[in-house]
Amino acid sequence: MPEAPDFLPKSSLYPVQKTNRASVNPLFGAQFLSSLPFSKHRSGVKILAVPPNNTMGVTVGKTMQQLVAEQLKQKPDSVFVFPTGNTPLSGYQALRDMGKQGEKLDWSQSKVFHLDEYVPPQSGMPQQLESYATYMKRELLDHIGAEAFLVKDYLRDPSAYDAAIFRQAPDGPDMVILGIGKNGHIAFNEPGSDAKSQTRIVDLTDATVKQNFGEFGVNTVQEAKQQGFPTQAMTLGMETILKAKTIVLLATGEASKGDVLRKALDPDSPPHPSIPASYLKNHPNVYVVTDFTV
Ligand code: PGA
């Protein structure tokens, strides 16, 4: 087994089973991929390296749009899981714009889930903070006509959300799109999350509170409590995410995200719960869309 990197305790390497490659059927053919800035990373993930600063018209958002559109064209009844946050906004815009530009996608047979939701999602939250259900509707769901499944409707029984996903997609969702937190979280699977973690309600960490509520002057869980911001969230578990046939990780923004992405993809260190994004290395079909050098 490879050595753990210096920032990990050497004694607690975390063994993770490789996904059964035979069960995965990569959808994107060479012809489609040749139209994208595609390369293979030493960790095994596929990199779609877009230039920094949105130059040459190739952007993280545009690339996300192309991957989603191709998925939907190849398999009109695809089951998607989509993220919220700042990173995918340009991708949602690009998807909405396709309709305006006469390239309307047919979402009518598709199913759309999303990754996570604050707990509580809306009631009691400060007015300036919106639920992820509101975000998803505004950015995508209100524009596409797909059948949608909202996390907020499953807060009483998080396992029922997994059950709903696997009812629609018995072998796992067709495509899960993810962002990455500055602390390496995936959805709200915070550092320490197990690769086998199930969909559940979690406590937010100070790092995530700072990332998500810092713009409102709220930087710690304690401050979040005092000011009525949520300190919990419901998140898809790592296990459900890793069952996806295709995973797309979008990584752009502050340099600290680039740092954690490089650590997550380090081919010489095994996946470890201290960086949940590192579990993606053991999945056979991951596309990392990024303008960071990895
Ligand atoms: P962001 O969040 O897209 O708003 O940066 C990503 C994440 O924390 O997963």
Taking Cα atoms as reference points, which of 65, 80, 79, 77 lies closest to residue 35? Answer: 65
Residue 267: per-residue pLDDT? 95
Known active-site residue 54: no
Give the mean pLDDT of the chain: 88
Q: Is a pLDDT exceeding 50 seen at residue 50?
A: yes
Ligand 1: which of 180, 185, 288 to mutate, most ligand atoms within 8 Å of CB?
180
The answer to whether 290 touches 252, Cβ cutoff 8 Å, is yes
Of 70, 114, 183, 285, catalytic: 183
Ligand 1: which of 81, 86, 87 to mutate, most ligand atoms within 8 Å of CB?
87
Q: Is a pLDDT exceeding 90 seen at residue 274?
A: yes
Known active-site residue 116: yes
Return all residues near 101 (Cβ < 8 A) that are at least 6 apart: none
**Amino acid identity of 140?**
L
Torsion of Cα atoms, 229 then 160 then 85 then 258, to 10°: 110
Of 185, 266, 283, 291, catalytic: 185
Return all residues near 13 (Cβ < 8 A) that are at least 6 apart: 1, 4, 270, 272
Residue 19: per-residue pLDDT? 43
Ligand 1 centroid–CA 180 distance in Å is 6
Q: Is a pLDDT exceeding 90 seen at residue 54?
A: no
Residue 123: per-residue pLDDT? 58
Q: Is a pLDDT exceeding 90 seen at residue 260?
A: yes
Lining residues, ligand 1, CB within 6 Å: 85-87, 179-181, 211, 253
Ligand 1 centroid–CA 211 distance in Å is 8
Of 162, 174, 190, 291, catalytic: 190
What are the two backbone dihedrals, phi and then psi, of residue 175, each rounded to the nearest 5 degrees?
Answer: -145, 125
